[in-house]
Amino acid sequence: MKKILFLLPFILTLSSCFLSKQNTETVYLEEVTASADDSELSYQGSRTMLCDLVHTELDLKFNFLEKTATGKALLSLKPHFYPQDSVQIDARGFEIRKIALVSNNSKIPLKYSYNNLIISIKLDKFYSRKDTFKLAIDYTAFPDRLPEGGSWAIKSDKGLYFIDNESNNPQFWTQGETQSNSAWFPTIDAPNQKTTQDISLTVPKDFKTLSNGILIKSIENEDGTRTDRWVQTKPHAPYLVMIAAGRYEILENSWNDLAVNVYAEPSQTKKAKHLFEKTDKMLSFYSEKLNYEFAWDKYSQIIVRQFVSGAMENTSATVFGNYVLNYDNETERREYETVVAHELSHHWFGDLVTCESWANLPLNESFATYFEYLWIEHEYGRAEADAHLKSDYNSYMFEYIFKNEDLIRFYHKHRDDMFDGHSYQKGSLILHYLRKIVGDEAFWKSLELYLKRNEFKSVEIHDLRLAFEEVTGQDLNWFFNEFFLNKGFPELTVTTEQITENKVFRVSISQTQDIKKAPLYRLPLYVDFYFEDTVLRREIVVNQREQHFYFKFDKKPLLTIVDAENALPGKIRHLKTLEQYLVQGQRSTLYRDVTEVLDVLKTQAPSDEINTVYIKILEHPYAPLRKRALAQLKVKPTDKIYAQYKSKLESIIETDQDSEIRALAKSKLMK
């Protein structure tokens, strides 16, 4: 899921458990969110699996004016391990007409109790884990009558929404995350369940429908309606079940013989086509890098009105709020393209392999956020990807001002609290650091193993660790304990010194973070030493409060960069001389390094040396850095580099692809 987290000068994006007692008289407890004094958080683990939801069959009809759904549900279940003679089904605010056991084409009425949240059903006998039983439930759902719930992240939890229901252009759609689908169909509404499905939707005949899986049949009825049947044969979590319908146009496309369609209202088709035009390239990129081809039967993307969150990765049928079409230029379109990349990546991380509890939500959202970076890096280059990662960093750091939590946190008040800058942006930063530590090949091989070992299953954080350990041969408990199972971030102070008598160069590093707010870290880092004609890279491990690292060189380095890959998910304070910053501006092309140089040089009086660095940065492939360097460049006709300056600006006017940069260069040249 993608969400807007904060309104800052830049757009920052993001996107429970039930406790059971195992005995013959099962007790179902609602989520406990805090202690009596509301000062202590309670443990929120995965929901106990007494019964497994195997298959869900729904036959649904809708009343737009009353905002109701009348359904016939057929649920196939089996005891998970222990024998069961009862089962509890989530169903919020239903009118229950009939519940029966389906056996040998006959229906046996069952006794049940219902408290408007849970249907407690007494079965006809004990069933073992080798048995499958089927429940038929006839009901009407009244989602609009439910008390308003939700949070700042997911604004409502009514599950099914009728939009503009009294107009001549109504639509409906669903939003199941976290546990809201039980507001429109009976289910076991927990992320550690996996079900296949068969859903029939009866709608006005001029409507287009969408659900998970494949449309296998469409029948026109005599009353002016049409019934569409959608079937998904691969299991997924109940919160990923979706339905939608309205007067849509379908923009058809394909990838590897797979339907890749976009549902948009007629007035939206031009912008929608442009926004989603790279979906097929994303499918290829993710499938190839993960060595795991897209697992689902199709991929559809639908734009809806008044969506209660940013977007939602329902399996094979992603929903987007129509805000994604609010772009006026290519820069803005690319921002929304990252939402497309985010939701698509969930079809591996979240839909195929699902967090078993909301405490493990980063296994869904950290990956989807980092895959935004990976897509940008692949399609547009590392500098633009690093700029995007800097936005993730800024978002997390802003949240850190008032919130400092473990990334995987089993103690929280409510499952919605997990949807924050920790689960999304901080997790993305940590995955980036992990990638740089183990190397690209090991990173992708580990993800491949993780996906193939856990496909169509639910997981916890240790499943990810074990995959990385098996591939790399390393014990990575230290990394996961420090970064995934702990809070805070590393803060380093760096100083360098040449010890001239024996040609030894010293790098001193202190960990300065508050140990009450973060651990003392073990930090593998690359250090680059710049000389006139070469750059030497060394690897160090920072694991103490204060450390000194000694290197023997024939000459003193012109510049030292600690964390040379710009990968550390934290802060580094390294005060350099102006001469060192000038070398950094001339020699390094990484986004963070160049940005740091521009920040420092902006405070300095113009000089030929500084302007030469600006002219060098004008060759950078990332337009925002070129634009900033050009804006800071101040050369007078009497300066020694004026001829070089003039030639460079003339070249920019002729060749730069960015119109704003061309215009700025022209205005400077005319002065």
Report the predicted TM-score, pTM, of the whole model to 2 decimal places: 0.94
**Rounded to the nearest 10 degrees, what angle do helices 591-601 and 578-587 cross at?**
140
Coil, helix or strand for 108? strand
pLDDT at residue 11, as a whole number: 38
For residue 39, the model assigns a pLDDT of 52
pLDDT digits (tens, 9 = 90+) for 405-460: 999 999 999 999 999 999 999 999 999 999 999 999 999 999 999 999 999 999 99
The DSSP result for 507-539, as a single string, is EEEEE-S-TTTSPPPPEEEEEEEE-SS-EEEEE
Residues 6+ apart with CB under 8 A from 99: 109, 110, 112, 119, 121, 135, 136, 137, 138
Condensed to tens digits (0 to 9), the pLDDT of residues 263-288 reads: 999 999 999 999 999 999 999 999 99
pLDDT score for 33: 38
Q: What contacts 166, CB < 8 A, 6 or more positions away?
A: 64, 65
In single-letter form, the type of residue at position 215 comes to: L
Cα–Cα nearest to 306, from 437, 113, 165, 439:
165
At 252, list the tokens.
């058809």
Contacts 24+ apart (CB under 8 A), 573-578: 573/491, 573/492, 573/493, 573/494, 573/512, 574/493, 574/494, 574/495, 575/495, 578/604
28 within 8 A of 170, measured Cβ to Cβ: no
Which residues, at least 6 apart from 224, have a Cβ–Cβ distance to it below 8 Å?
A: 204, 205
Q: Residue 565's Cα: distance from chain center in Å?
A: 23
Using alpha carbons, select from 272, 53, 71 the residue that is nearest to residue 174: 71
Quick one: pLDDT at residue 3? 53
Regions of the chain with pLDDT less than 50 = 5-38
Neighbours of 45 (CB within 10 A): 16
In whole angstroms, give the CA distance from residue 453 to residue 475: 19
